[in-house]
Amino acid sequence: MRKCYKCGQKATVYLPQHRIAFCKEHYIEWYLKRVEETIKEFRMFGKGDRVLVAVSGGKDSLSLWDALYRLGYDADGFYINLGIGEYSKRSQLACEKFANQRGLVLHVFELEKAVASVPALKELENRPACSFCGQLKRYYTNKFAKERGYKVVATGHNLDDETAVLLSNVLSWQMDYLSRQSPVLSEGEGFVRRVKPLVKFSEKENALYAFLAKIEYVEEECPFAEGASSIEHKKLLSLLEEKSPGTKLRFYMDFLRRMRPMLKAEQVALRPCSLCGEPTTGEVCSVCRLKERVAKASLSSSPSS
Ligand code: AMP
Ligand code: ZN
Ligand code: ZN
């Protein structure tokens, strides 16, 4: 029988990459302490800063919001309803329930009203849903945070997400993407600071926290994420992790400590979009161009009178 490292009682969880076991209470304590340490290590934000947590209703982002709340940070939630049928409805409900139980503020944004639903956009655009969906989520969280005076946007990206992206960027030597891959993206030029306080936690560790902290989250994945290449990269990394626990954390942290400082970020000239004012490299930003295509498509499909 494994014993809790802290109190010697029967352990409920064992973390192979840290070679450490905890009872329920001390796992929660360890998790919260590690979130706080990560926020401090990367100078993400302080106790007085207003934080907007982008929540999807899944285990990672709700665990993040819960941890920030318990640690005494000033954190409101932001949920984007992507209009993906029952999946989006269930996710919104999970976020609302979470916020209500704790007396927290949740902002809900409806993509269908602002642009179109993800399924409708998928019909229109000849590319994977994840590519425009990610773009839209970044655009609207940034815009909303700016308009409402939030200092920073926090997302629930975990170690599995970050190492999958890192592996993919390394496989194709995307030097520019590599130079910008960081748990903190600074504010400036129309962007609010973006942070990922859960980068040191695996998906499993977040699921364990959510379970032990009794967070009711949506388990199903987005139906449009099926077949995304990141899933293959995650599988591959998990195989390596199983053979040698700690591989993912080492891969990621050593990249940040040893490799990233050697990379120079390419300077891209940004200017305000001529239609919406958000930062872009061209004349009109990609979201405004997407909106134009939506408007054109709905014009051509509406019956002529
Ligand atoms: P994903 O790209 O689905 O792995 O999500 C990565 C992070 O983006 C999550 O941890 C959330 O912080 C944020 N996020 C994902 N979906 C939504 C959503 N519908 N509304 C707001 N934030 C989201
Ligand atoms: Zn214990
Ligand atoms: Zn624009």
Structural domain spans, the chain: 39-266, 268-300
Q: Answer yes or no: is pLDDT of 258 > 50.
A: yes
For residue 13, the ligand closest to its alpha carbon is: 2
Provide the pLDDT for residue 305.
45
CA of 205 to the centre of ligand 3 (A): 38
Q: Are 157 and 42 in contact (CB under 8 A)?
A: no
Instruction: Find the mean pLDDT for residues 57-79.
Output: 98
CATH architecture of 39-266: 3-Layer(aba) Sandwich (3.40)
Least confident of 96-100, 112-116, 221-225, 256-260: 221-225
Q: Answer yes or no: is pLDDT of 304 > 80.
A: no
Q: Are 256 and 182 in contact (CB under 8 A)?
A: yes
Distance of CA 289 to the CA centre of its chain: 25
Say which residue, 266 or 235, is predicted with more confidence. Answer: 235
As residues whose CB is below 5 A from the ion ligand 2, the structure lists 4, 6-7, 23, 26
Q: Answer yes or no: is pLDDT of 197 > 50.
A: yes
CA of 155 to the centre of ligand 1 (A): 7
Instruction: Find the mean pLDDT for residues 244-249.
Output: 97
Report the atom number in ligand 1 closest to the C-alpha of 91. 19
CA of 288 to the centre of ligand 3 (A): 4
The mean pLDDT of the chain is: 95
Q: Is the CB of 88 under 6 A from ligand 1?
A: no
Q: Is the CB of 155 under 6 A from ligand 1?
A: yes
Provide the pLDDT for residue 303.
64
Q: Answer yes or no: is pLDDT of 286 > 80.
A: yes
Least confident of 26-35, 193-202, 261-270: 261-270
Q: Is the CB of 80 under 6 A from ligand 1?
A: yes
Quick one: DSSP state of residue 57? S
Residues 145-185 pLDDT 10s: 999 999 999 999 999 999 999 999 999 999 999 999 999 99
Residues 82-96 pLDDT 10s: 999 999 999 999 999
Provide the pLDDT for residue 19.
95
Provide the pLDDT for residue 268.
85
Residues 110-139 pLDDT 10s: 999 999 999 999 999 988 899 899 999 999
Q: Whose CA is nearest to atom 23 of ligand 1?
A: 56
CA of 273 to the centre of ligand 3 (A): 5
Which sign does the torsion angle of CA 110, 114, 115, 116 carry?
positive
- 189-193 contacts at long range (C-beta below 8 A, 24 or more positions apart): 189/270, 189/279, 190/142, 190/146, 190/270, 190/272, 190/277, 190/278, 190/279, 191/142, 191/279, 192/52, 192/142, 192/145, 192/146, 192/150, 192/151, 192/152, 192/153, 193/44, 193/45, 193/151, 193/152, 193/153
Q: Answer yes or no: is pLDDT of 227 > 90.
A: no
Instruction: Find the mean pLDDT for residues 72-86.
Output: 97
CA of 35 to the centre of ligand 2 (A): 19
For residue 25, the ligand closest to its alpha carbon is: 2
Q: Is the CB of 107 under 6 A from ligand 1?
A: no
Confidence of residue 68 (pLDDT cuts 50, 70, 90): very high
Taking the model in full, what pTM does it have? Answer: 0.96
Q: Whose CA is nearest to atom 4 of ligand 1?
A: 157
Q: Is the CB of 234 under 6 A from ligand 1?
A: no
